[in-house]
Amino acid sequence: MKVPIVLLGLAAFVSLSVAAVASGVRINVSDSLPGWVYVTQPIDRAQRGDYVSFCPPVDVGSLPRGRCPTGSMALIKRVVAAEGDTVRFAPGLIEVNEQSFEVPMAAVDSRGRTLPQAAPGVQVLDAGQVVVLGEHTHSLDSRYFGVLGGRHE
């Protein structure tokens, strides 16, 4: 019995897709990053400059539907602080090892709901903890929810 070439192609595509996801390849469907395909690291192994994919720890905005507990899709963000880094949170500011990332913050989400803010203060990140920032001012990132740990993967 001959297997139609379309089925072989579909099987190959599914196999490659599963392998890509298992190795951290993620597709960006939002305009929060300038690109479509990113290789992500698990949060507990991420270093500064890496990208991580995680379910948002807060329910805000009109994120596309996905498989996260909030019903939204997973986010992809750049890591700006990891294990051993000293981080200070203040309104509109994240400081990592005395380097400032001043980013304006929105007061409300796209539905008019008040957005949370990361609790102000200073902390040294433990193993498995990261701070993430998006590439633009309307990004849902650590300015709003603070430090991420392994539980948000």
pLDDT tens-place string over residues 27-52: 666 666 666 788 889 999 999 999 99
d(CA 128, CA 42): 9
Cβ–Cβ < 8 Å for 38, 76? yes
Q: How far apart are CA 129 and CA 43, in angstroms?
A: 7
18: left (phi over 0), alpha (psi -120 to 50) or beta: alpha
What are 65-120's pLDDT values in tens digits? 888 888 888 888 999 999 999 999 998 889 999 999 888 888 887 778 788 889 99
Buried b (16+ CB within 10 A) or exposed e, 75-109: bbbbbbbbbebebebeeeebbbeeeebeeeebeeb
Tokens (6 digits) for 95: 């400081």
- Confidence band for 138, pLDDT divided at 50, 70 and 90: confident
- Domains located in the chain, CATH noted: 5-152 (2.10.109)
Cα–Cα distance between 129 and 148 in angstroms, integer? 6
The C-alpha atoms of residue 60 and residue 108 are separated, in whole angstroms, by 9
CB atoms within 10 A of CB 147: 19
pLDDT over 50 at 153, yes or no: no
Highest mean pLDDT: which of 3-7, 12-16, 21-25, 89-93? Answer: 89-93
Question: According to the model, what pLDDT value does residue 19 have?
Answer: 42
Per-residue pLDDT, 16? 41
